Homo-oligomer: A and B are copies of this chain.
Amino acid sequence: MSKQTLDDFRDLVRKVKSYEEALAVMYWDLRTGAPKKGVETRSEVIGVLSTEMFKLSISTEMGSYLEELSQADQLESLDEINRKLVLECKKEYERSVKIPPEMYQEYVVLTSQAESIWEDAKRASDYAMFQPYLEKIVDFNQKFVELWGYEGHRYNTLLDMYEPGITVAKLDEVFDELRKHTVPLVLEMKNDPSKLDTSFLKQHYDVSKQKEFSLFILKELGYDFEAGRLDESEHPFATGLNPGDVRITTKFKPYDIAFALFGTIHECGHALYEQNVSSKLIGTPLCNGASMGIHESQSRFWEIYIGSSLPFWQKYYNDLQRYFPEQLADISVQQFYRAINQAQPSLIRIEADELTYNLHIMIRYELEKGLISGEIQVADLPRLWNEKYEQYLGVKPSNDAEGVLQDVHWAGGAFGYFPSYSLGNMYAAQMIHALRLQLPHLDTLVAQGEFTPIKEWLTEKVHQFGKLLTPEEIIHNVSGEELNPAYLVKHLTSKYARS
């Protein structure tokens, strides 16, 4: 192998990654307070740099480096990082060059329009407005699948973009198992609603105090403020520019203590992942999460299994009471714990509790699968949506705004993304089970605010590898077995079964 080719390839990869960081800073800036009159010019700037980045990633240089370096004998002579890097870039390259540039350009414009139309359609609860756009988007995605090729189900190719290696066959299996055990729990609740009073969570909570408490909890969890910062945005997110700069945002609601608090812990989970990726991967696309599902497992791990646990609040509830004595002085830690963990069937995914959340995802998964295979028509979505909500959750949307129009994902063309959320939940349950075998006194550690052993374990098993391992390798590394929904089923059953 020519050392020069490898060096040139690495330089080109680093260059692409530099554009990616610049774009990430600009997006972060747009979402955390960029002045609105600059948005139009900024969008053009983003367009120019995105195009340049895309050109580099499908350049003839990239093509020829990849062709040379991906020869079997060449690959063998590379160290692990370079080998995986070549394979990752080759996968991206081949995906990109298979789409004619004009077609891709048309699709970008379409989804950008569709997102704007979707906003209006949702506001007016008018599915007919959005339907023609969605039809075109589905059509494009069907064509992309044709161009990219597929094995087994057509939807597999889209799933692979977010969760490499996952298939319809596997998802059908794990979702069946999960649904079989979850639906009865949910319908039981539906028929006998909880009498729990959770109204104290919705009192007035001073926003600046909420912020102070969020910062306090982030420090306790070990979020590294020298490698990140907390800002505010309309929709909370985490963005990793590089392992030394992983930013999170939250949204403080003046009449809701739970929203920002658990949102912050959720984003902190994402951030702890990227802050602890090996520095050897900096400047490459491997310096990233292994998949959307593994990423979500980290956020849910901290949000649900640590941050919503009784031991955690045994440690921190006094602090929270000190911040909000008027609101919480008369509320016990047990009351607080039960209130933040209350489950009940509802219509809106992003407000759903951990028990019902996966049912929201399964509904979307089943619809996406059918749309891409052609078995479901876009025109039938609202009816099918409502039927499935009634069947799985026992609730029925009164209009499409709180039904099929609630999420932006389809307007953006992100078919294959939704399952990641439930995969994250399943991975997280499987991980916490494995961790308990290693650290039998986990609850005691959490109750003492001792998170270092937990983070070290996650870094050793998950974080450090970035995208060097597949999701399958990661979960096997962690637990010694493949993805297994039994752990999540067990967790949900023991937490939410009435009897």
Chain B residues within 8 Å of A41, by CB: 21, 241-242, 244-245, 282-283
Measured in the bound complex, the distance between the Cα atoms of B21 and A34 in whole Å is: 13
**Contact residues of A between 20 and 54, Cβ < 8 Å to B:** 21-22, 25-26, 29, 33-42, 44-45, 48-49, 52
A19 to chain B, nearest CB (A): 7
Taking A38-B245, A39-B244 as contacts, is the C-beta distance between A45 and B18 under 8 angstroms? yes
A18 touches B242 (CB 8 A): no
* A228 CB within 8 Å of chain B: yes
Measured in the bound complex, the distance between the Cα atoms of B180 and A227 in whole Å is: 54
User: Counting chain B CB atoms within 10 Å of each CB, which of A241, A282, A283 scores highest?
Assistant: A241
**Contact residues of A between 354 and 408, Cβ < 8 Å to B:** none
* A15 CB within 8 Å of chain B: yes
A9 to chain B, nearest CB (A): 15
Taking A14-B48, A15-B48 as contacts, is the C-beta distance between A21 and B42 under 8 angstroms? yes
A246 to chain B, nearest CB (A): 8
Chain B residues within 8 Å of A38, by CB: 227, 241-242, 244-245
* A224 CB within 8 Å of chain B: yes
**Contact residues of A between 225 and 243, Cβ < 8 Å to B:** 225-229, 241-243
Measured in the bound complex, the distance between the Cα atoms of B14 and A244 in whole Å is: 32
Q: Mark A339-366, 1 if CB is under 8 A from B, else 0.
A: 0000000000000000000000000000
Q: Mark A102-134, 1 if CB is under 8 A from B, else 0.
A: 000000000000000000000000000000000
Measured in the bound complex, the distance between the Cα atoms of B34 and A228 in whole Å is: 8
Measured in the bound complex, the distance between the Cα atoms of B41 and A228 in whole Å is: 14
Taking A25-B25, A37-B224, A226-B35 as contacts, is the C-beta distance between A49 and B244 under 8 angstroms? no
Chain B residues within 8 Å of A242, by CB: 38, 41-42
Q: Mark A192-230, 1 if CB is under 8 A from B, else 0.
A: 000000000000000000000000000000001111110
In the complex, which range does the number of interface residues on chain A fall in? 35 or more
A21 to chain B, nearest CB (A): 5
Taking A29-B29, A40-B244, A244-B40 as contacts, is the C-beta distance between A21 and B35 under 8 angstroms? no
Task: Identify the A interface with B (CB < 8 A).
Answer: 14-15, 18-19, 21-22, 25-26, 29, 33-42, 44-45, 48-49, 52, 224-229, 241-245, 247, 282-283
**30 A-B contacts, Cβ less than 8 Å apart?**
A14-B44, A15-B48, A15-B52, A18-B44, A19-B49, A21-B41, A21-B42, A21-B45, A22-B25, A22-B26, A22-B45, A22-B49, A25-B26, A25-B29, A33-B229, A34-B245, A35-B227, A35-B229, A35-B244, A37-B224, A37-B226, A37-B243, A38-B245, A39-B244, A41-B241, A41-B242, A41-B244, A41-B282, A41-B283, A44-B283
- Chain A to chain B: the 7 pairs with minimum beta-carbon distance, closest first: A38-B245, A37-B244, A38-B244, A18-B48, A37-B227, A41-B242, A18-B45
Given contacts A35-B247, A38-B244, 14 further A-B contacts (CB under 8 A): A18-B44, A18-B45, A18-B48, A21-B45, A25-B25, A35-B228, A35-B244, A35-B245, A37-B226, A37-B227, A37-B245, A38-B242, A41-B241, A42-B241
